[in-house]
Structure 1
Amino acid sequence: MTLVNPYLNFNGTTEEAFNFYKSVFGGEFAMVMRFKDTPGCENMPEVEQNHIMHIALPIGSNVIMGTDVPKSMEQVTFGSSVSLSVSVDSREEANRVYNALADGGKATMPMNDMFWGDYYGMLTDKFDIQWMISYSEKYANPA
């Protein structure tokens, strides 16, 4: 099966963001590469040498990945064009994930029962990444 995995770009905060996501979702990094260990990056400014060139954190069957965009490239502008959607196995897990991601961020829509049947909420985390958290009793406990 084909998987689509999100790749997140940051302006120098990738390591902090991914350590935060690891604290929320658990697991271990599948890969961490820094610019200083990457051929062709020897002439980057010293401050950027320790930035993340590539990082990967498995979450369930998916992997979120990311990078720090060097200042010599166009800097990342955060907006509203993409949200990461997380489906969990219980209302308790939905609340835990929502509250953890919202810490230091902005709650857009608190967790609540929705007209389509899901328990659902939206937020923007402290790194300006938008998240949608949902639990569907229909899919968790099929009749």
Structure 2
Amino acid sequence: MALINPYLNFNGNAEEAFEFYKSVFGGELATVVRFGDMPDPQHPLSESDANKIMHIALPIGPANVLMATDFLESQGQKTREGNRYTVSISAESKAEADQLFTGLSAGGEVEVPISDSPWGSYFGLFKDKFGIQWMVDFDPKFTGKA
């Protein structure tokens, strides 16, 4: 069965927010990836943007994970009411990820088609027909399945 976790969007202060969340929930950050860690020669970043958070994750309890990213204003991204969060689904297999992505995105707007990602998972992003943003992800490192 897939797990559902919150995915939050910040205007450059995701790291600060997650240090605060860590102080409240406890635990350790499981992942911290900066935009500069995954350079894109086609879209060079300023030093400031390169240091912003592409993905950060804080495990909470035995199965939940609070995750986030920084939006890059230099690329026209800005948080506003309605885009501060995304529902992230962690699938147990590629087949389950495909089924969930196809079903939930029907009638909606696909932003990132589901496929293998540069960071090693199988990932897709879309807004459903009701305007809710979703991510579907399958990471074999966390399930032991391919």
Q: Is 2:50 aligned against 1:49? A: yes
> Match for residue 76 of structure 1?
79
Amino acid at match of 2:24: V
Query: What's the secondary structure of 2:49's corresponding residue?
Result: helix
In 1, the alpha carbon distance for the partners of 2:57 and 2:20 equals 13
Query: What's the secondary structure of 2:80's corresponding residue?
Result: coil
Greater relative CO (CA pairs within 8 A, separation 6+): 2
Residue deviations 1:62-115, cap 9 Å, x none? 001100011113201135997xxxxxxxxxxxxxxxxxxxxxxxxxxxxxxxxx
> Match for residue 65 of structure 2?
63
In 2, the alpha carbon distance for the partners of 1:5 and 1:21 equals 15
Q: Is 2:25 aligned against 1:25? A: yes
Tell me the C-alpha RMSD between the 2 structures: 2.4
Query: What's the secondary structure of 1:57's corresponding residue?
Result: strand
In 2, the alpha carbon distance for the partners of 1:10 and 1:40 equals 21
- Unpaired runs of at least 5, structure 1: 83-143
In 2, the alpha carbon distance for the partners of 1:15 and 1:4 equals 22
1:81–1:55 Cα change, 3 Å? closer
Query: What's the secondary structure of 1:12's corresponding residue?
Result: coil
Q: Counterparts of 1:1-143 in structure 2 under 5 Å?
A: 1-40=1-40, 43-60=44-61, 61-71=63-73, 72-78=75-81
Identity of paired residues, percent? 56
1:47–1:20 Cα change, 3 Å? same
1:80–1:27 Cα change, 3 Å? same
Query: What's the secondary structure of 2:12's corresponding residue?
Result: coil
TM-score normalized by structure 2?
Answer: 0.51
1:36–1:25 Cα change, 3 Å? same
What is the count of residue pairs matched by the alignment?
83
Bigger radius of gyration among the two: 1
The alpha carbon displacement at 1:36 in A equals: 1.0
- Unpaired runs of at least 5, structure 2: 86-146
TM-score normalized by structure 1?
Answer: 0.52
Query: What's the secondary structure of 2:9's corresponding residue?
Result: strand
Amino acid at match of 2:49: E
